Amino acid sequence: MPGQPLIEAEGLAVGYGGPPAIAGVSFALAAGERLALLGPNGGGKTTLMRAVLGELRPAAGRLAVNGRCGTVPQTERSRLDYPVSALDVATMGALPRLPWWRRPSREDRRGALAALERVGLGDRAEQTFGELSGGQRQRVLIARALVQDAVVLLLDEPFSGLDNASAAALETLIGELAAEGRGIVVATHDLDQARRSDAVLCLNRRQIAVGPADRVLDRAALEATYGGDIVEIPAGGGQAILPSHHHHH
């Protein structure tokens, strides 16, 4: 159905059995839209993504996901000594459509190679995943999501640890994938990345605000999102958010 949002949440609460980790989340993601999830560590960004993936059930409210989701997890935590090539990883995207006893076919591997070419890594297909740079690893995981035919891409802190050039190239790729009609959700605590998105959802255990970046990202919303960890940079440097280092896992 054209015009139907890819993700629709209304009064959504999600938790792990105890009190909800996030509550009061209401938003819609349209095709071609880039939504930034902005919030501190432990604020519930990953919880919301897991709910969209269907790994966690809503404790309250409504969540509708109309389309296949592909996840692009943080690669800092993946095992870099694992004996797989970039092509092996991209080919894993074919698994969801195969019964458990079937192996990916040559056709699937061709599709995976095409996806690697799409993200600009056609010449790195045979390289060991762990030997690629941080930005390249993110691209391989995006290629894996493309092999899944995902129309919703969920990226968890994709820019963390990347140098400026890599981050810019990755952002360009994300923009292109959105322009092709995919919905993109990017969890970040980078305020500048959030500003360049179509919409921002501020999340700190509950939804603080949602909407276009220029309307949402005011001082009050940021302070509520980050609990007042905002510092003024002297000599007109603007504002900065001190990233919280409290990890809640």
Q: Report, in Å, the least distance between residue 225 CB and another protein.
A: 25
Q: Report, in Å, the least distance between residue 101 CB and another protein.
A: 6
Nearer to another protein among residue 102 and residue 215 (C-beta):
102
Tell me the β-bridge partners of 185.
Answer: 35, 154
Nearer to another protein among residue 41 and residue 85 (C-beta):
85
Which positions ≥6 away from 52 have C-beta within 8 Å?
7, 63, 65, 69, 152, 154, 185
Whether 247 and 42 have beta carbons less than 8 Å apart is answered as yes
Opening angle at CA 45, ends 23 and 209, nearest 5: 55
The rounded distance, in Å, linking the Cα atoms of 50 and 32 is 21
Nearer to another protein among residue 25 and residue 153 (C-beta):
153
Q: Report, in Å, the least distance between residue 49 CB and another protein.
A: 10
Which positions ≥6 away from 108 have C-beta within 8 Å?
91, 94, 147
Whether 60 and 225 have beta carbons less than 8 Å apart is answered as no
User: Which residue ranges make up the site for another protein (CB under 8 A)?
Assistant: 53, 55, 69-71, 73, 78-79, 82-85, 88-89, 91-93, 95-96, 98, 100-101, 103-104, 120, 123-124, 128-129, 133, 135-136, 139, 148, 165-166, 169-170
Whether 167 and 135 have beta carbons less than 8 Å apart is answered as yes
Nearer to another protein among residue 170 and residue 178 (C-beta):
170
Nearer to another protein among residue 4 and residue 78 (C-beta):
78
Q: Report, in Å, the least distance between residue 156 CB and another protein.
A: 10
Q: Report, in Å, the least distance between residue 90 CB and another protein.
A: 12
